[in-house]
Chains A and B, each alone.
Chain A
């Protein structure tokens, strides 16, 4: 009896150890984008954007090349990545236009309305290419892994990343509930921007 229980305990211990090692939440991969020739082209695309010409020019848009799309888990199930996204969201002054997600001059990001799509690759594209009604293009200015970090954070605002990876606290006045308690929402893609809605 006692031996059986011991075995059970051991089994649970081993199983939980396996869980711990396979948990992506706490990884801190600092070397996200190991320097490579592609990495460069990856962040510089067309000459054709609001932010002015890029250096090497005429590269295909990154969101178009499927093999560059990272495994979603790498970013969205990892608290460090989403947390870095949150830091960069202020550092690169996304808050200047989107406030802390509630929206300002740019649309709200905490709601379920997505004008340009809620998938990570779509948000990646929004940040890199910019969007016509006033979203600047950051292509060539933010390395791709940081764009993925930002995308995962933007998704956490709408409750689209696992709650245990989303940030749980703020360093500033925020008002709303923290990202990790954002309600799970069913994203509503191809929404109209507020300005285009019919007056009620």
Chain B
């Protein structure tokens, strides 16, 4: 029991993040553990606020205690205090109140200036040579399109992206349905995604790690399960990942995989999903070309394992009620074949 709790605490401390099934998928999600210049600046601002508030709080509490003690002592010496205090003491009090007001004003202006400076600093990241990603927030999943000058180098993925460490990432945020908000706590603050009005932010990851992102603007039933993952890694590893994403999908080799592809292309799936290299090209759901290369499914709700995938395809409504993918009651042989096929989509 205690061992289990400690183990759990260890994972928590390691900042892994729980998904719906109670399992853990690697990745940090904390504003207190900044991994880039922007989140660092925001964290610094938070610390300024925090420590100043602590000082003020301690001072106020000390003064209250001091006042209580003083008054009680005096009451013991002189009995009930008369209504009119001595004029000299009145003057002292006036000075004290004046000083406290001045100190408060200075402190507030200090915070205001810090706030302003932080706001400027996090917007000042140079976007020369930035990696441009067009992000679309859908109810309730994320679409990422990696832009490039050359059309043949543009690719689309969903719910999980890799980014190179140390390079500025410029994201352009879109929404086709309702307002969402793009938030990777370890990398930057929140930015709303507004239908018909693209917004932008730029950020940089200085530490190679895996981070969780989360929609931060209530957007319907499954808002809480609208997550994504950001894998920050060295440039070479990122380039390898990008090259793999640019590939067309793996073609089925075994009979079962071939049957699975046939099922995919001849049932409902083809109405909503894209798999590059096949005839499936709809954009109502996540691009599945490289589904097997992602660690989670359903926008970070479940680890990407065969059993979860089977459950998701059979009845996504039990996992994310209201989700915009219908239940599919495929006969067992077709479902197994479909899973065999989806598992090769590295």
> Most chain-A Cβ atoms within 10 A of its Cβ — which of B195, B314, B318, B328?
B328
Secondary structure call for the A interface? loop
A43–B270 alpha-carbon span in the complex (Å):
14
Closest chain-A Cβ to B346's Cβ sits at a distance in Å of 26
Closest chain-A Cβ to B94's Cβ sits at a distance in Å of 61
Interface residue stretch chosen among B112-120, B121-129, B261-269: B261-269
Interface residue stretch chosen among B49-57, B249-257, B319-327: B319-327
Closest chain-B Cβ to A56's Cβ sits at a distance in Å of 8
Contact A55 B329 (CB under 8 A): no
Q: Does B315 sit at the interface, judged by CB under 8 A?
A: yes
Q: Does B33 sit at the interface, judged by CB under 8 A?
A: no
Contact A39 B329 (CB under 8 A): yes
Mark out the residues of chain A between 46 and 72 whose CB falls within 8 Å of any chain B CB in the assembled complex.
52-56
Mask: chain A, 28-45; 1 = CB below 8 Å from B; 0 = not: 101101111101100110
Contact B271 A142 (CB under 8 A): yes
Mark out the residues of chain A between 125 and 178 whose CB falls within 8 Å of any chain B CB in the assembled complex.
140-143, 145-146, 171
Contact B271 A37 (CB under 8 A): no
Mask: chain B, 258-292; 1 = CB below 8 Å from A; 0 = not: 00001100111011100000000000100000000
Q: Does B177 sit at the interface, judged by CB under 8 A?
A: yes
Interface residue count for B (Cβ, 8 Å)? 24
**A141 and B317 in contact (CB under 8 A), knowing A33-B327, A35-B329, A146-B326?**
no
Inter-chain contact total with CB atoms closer than 8 Å: 56
Q: Which residues of A contact B87 (CB under 8 A)?
A: none
Contact B327 A143 (CB under 8 A): yes
**A140 and B317 in contact (CB under 8 A), knowing A33-B326, A39-B329, A91-B284?**
no
Closest chain-A Cβ to B30's Cβ sits at a distance in Å of 33
Contact A36 B266 (CB under 8 A): no
Contact of B328 among A28, A35, A37 (CB under 8 A): A35
The residues of B with any CB-CB pair to A shorter than 8 Å are 177, 195, 262-263, 266-268, 270-272, 284, 314-315, 317-318, 321-322, 326-331, 334
Cross-chain pairs A/B with CB under 8 angstroms, 11 sampled: A31-B327, A39-B327, A40-B331, A55-B266, A140-B266, A140-B267, A140-B268, A141-B271, A145-B326, A171-B177, A171-B195
